[in-house]
Every structure is written in C-alpha cells, then in structure tokens.
Amino acid sequence: MPHAVTRDNVRLYFEETGSGTPILFLHEFAADHTNWEPQLRYFSRGHRCIAYSARGYAPSDVPAAADVYTYEHFYTDALAVLDHLQIARAHFVGLSMGSYSSLQVALHAPERITSMTLAGVGSGSSLENLEAFRAQCRANAEQFETLGAVEVAKVTREAPSRIPFLVKDPRGHADFYAALARHAAQGSANTMRSFQGGRPSIYTMTEAIRQVTTPALIICGDEDDNCIEPSLFLKKHLPAAGLTFFPKSGHVLNLEEPALFNEMVGRFIALVEAGRWGARDPRSMVVG
C-alpha cells in the first residue's frame, strides 16, 4: 500500500491516477479518500490526481492521542503528501474539513497551492455560537468513543445538510453512511474533538484572508445552511474568489451532483491554468 509519512511519522494512505498538472483531493469529516472516485475518474483524463485519507482514517494511521489531530497537523499533512510525491505545487480540491485545510495551505504555504476549490466550507464558524459548536463536537467525540461508529453514523446520516443527498440518491446516501460506519471510532473521535472542535473560526482570519492571492472557487449547496454565510464571507474577502451555489443541494456536493461539480471545477482549473482567473476587477465593485 502506498503511504506518505508526515513530519510526526504518521503514515497517510493515498491513491493516484492520471498524468498532467496535479490535483490533490481533501475529504470531509464523514468521508475518506474513496469518496472522490467520481472526480478521480473524470479529472485523471487530463491531470495527475491524488486522493488520500487523513490521519485517523484507515488505511492511514490512527494515532491514539487527540492532541495530534489539530488543524495544523491536517494542513501540513496535505503538504507531506505532496512532498512524498515530489510535487512542488498542486490544485487543491477540498470539501468541508478538506476545504478548511486547503485554505490554511493558502494562508501558510501559498507557494504550494495553484488554486483551491472550497466546497461546503465554514460550518461551525459563527462566533456567536462557537462555544456551543465546540461543546457539540466534544459530545460527538464522546459518542464515537462510547457508542461506536456504527451508531453515530445512523444519527449523522439524518443531519439536515445530509437530507438533500438522501432525497436525490438514496443508494449513494446509503453507501456513503455504510462507509462512515466502518471508520475507526477513535480516529473519528479525535478528529471531532481536536480538529473540528479546536480549529479557529474563519471569521477571526479576515485580514490574513484578504492577503491571499490564490485563485479560489467557493461552492455551496443552497440547503447547506451552516455554510452559506461563511461562503459569502470568503467570497467577499478572498481577492481572487468566485462563488457558485448548487440548487436544492446540501453538504456532500461532489456526490450529490457529481456532473455539475466536475463541470464547475474543471472550468475553474482550466481558467486558472490559462491565466484567466485573477483578482476581482475594481471597476466591478460598488463603492459606498
């Protein structure tokens, strides 16, 4: 099995296919590397595509200590995958947790990221509700430890932002949550407690985000209520950002609407590579 090794000696399982400009796919909390299959099959026709499972997600290592699951670990893990493959820079395509990590790479190592697709980004960012969100993350972590992944998956699959997936594609929805039920409970608990419940809100990074010149495509489902305001916030403050909403869509955008997702991301990457996705023209901005 191919693995990259992180700076703290955690092994990350990855798969790659295709050739050309590299694209790195970063999954959400409830997913793993396998959930990018519709994108790997599509984009590998013209790009070198890499998808990996984050720490805590088998067949990657599942460290026992929760303190090695911080957001710093997650975004530097993405760089470790690139380093292992001797890739200087890549397009990053993230969903939710993976979008947050992609943004952190743009903030801390912009020379490594050609563009970033931020899908389903920003859940749990509200400063007004931040402590309640973090308390819920701790409670969810305890559920993984006491009830196990199978029981938690039964609850998670009925979360409001997951229902559009169920409505559109019951079979795909069932497969997705059957996979979640097989995740390592300790890895999920540690990720929930330290990454999800410990990461800074994007609303605390306004000035730093305004300095990011990386081309960005923000994608949000119009029924993913917790991500709508953060998506608008990022569109407002990222200088080279475009924003699209998928109608009647929730959180799992790449699986709910794979053809639309691939089309939008493919167009974005093509424009970036053609040098046609720059910062917003000041003439298009309303002053006052």
Give pLDDT, residue 166.
Answer: 94
Give pLDDT, residue 110.
Answer: 98
Instruction: Record the tokens describing residue 223, joined without a space.
Output: 């029924």
In sequence order, the 6+-apart residues with CB closer than 8 A to the CB of 201 are: 124, 125, 126, 127, 130
Q: How far, in Å, CA of 167 to CA of 164, rounded? A: 5
C-alpha 260: how far from chain center: 17
Instruction: Record the tokens describing residue 118, joined without a space.
Output: 């931020």
In sequence order, the 6+-apart residues with CB closer than 8 A to the CB of 282 are: none
- Report how far apart, in Å, the C-alpha atoms of 91 and of each of 20, 25, 84, 209 are: 11, 9, 16, 18
The β-bridge partners of 94 are: 26, 118
Residue ranges of domains in the chain, CATH in brackets: 3-126+201-280 (3.40.50.1820)
- CA dihedral 177→179→182→187, nearest 10 degrees, is -90
Give pLDDT, residue 157.
Answer: 87
**212 CB-contact burial (10 Å; exposed 0-12 / middle 13-18 / buried 19+):** buried
Give pLDDT, residue 76.
Answer: 98
**Which string of DSSP letters, residue by residue, matches 120-154?**
S--TT--STTHHHHHHHHHHHHHHHHHH-HHHHHH
Q: What is the pLDDT of residues 211-262, one digit of tens each?
A: 999 999 999 999 999 999 999 999 999 999 999 999 999 999 999 999 999 9
Q: Which parts of the chain register pLDDT below 70?
A: 287-288
Q: What pTM was computed for the model? A: 0.97
Cα–Cα–Cα angle for 169, 170, 173, rounded to 5 degrees: 85
Give pLDDT, residue 133.
Answer: 96
Phi and psi at 17, nearest 5°, equal -155, 155
Q: How far, in Å, CA of 1 to CA of 11, rounded? A: 11
In sequence order, the 6+-apart residues with CB closer than 8 A to the CB of 145 are: 185, 186, 189
Give pLDDT, residue 156.
Answer: 86
Q: What is the pLDDT of residues 4-31, one digit of tens each?
A: 999 999 999 999 999 999 999 999 999 9
In sequence order, the 6+-apart residues with CB closer than 8 A to the CB of 180 are: 30, 31, 149, 152, 153, 156, 157
Q: What number of other Cβ atoms are within 10 A of residue 146's Cβ?
A: 11
Give pLDDT, residue 158.
Answer: 87
SS3 119: strand
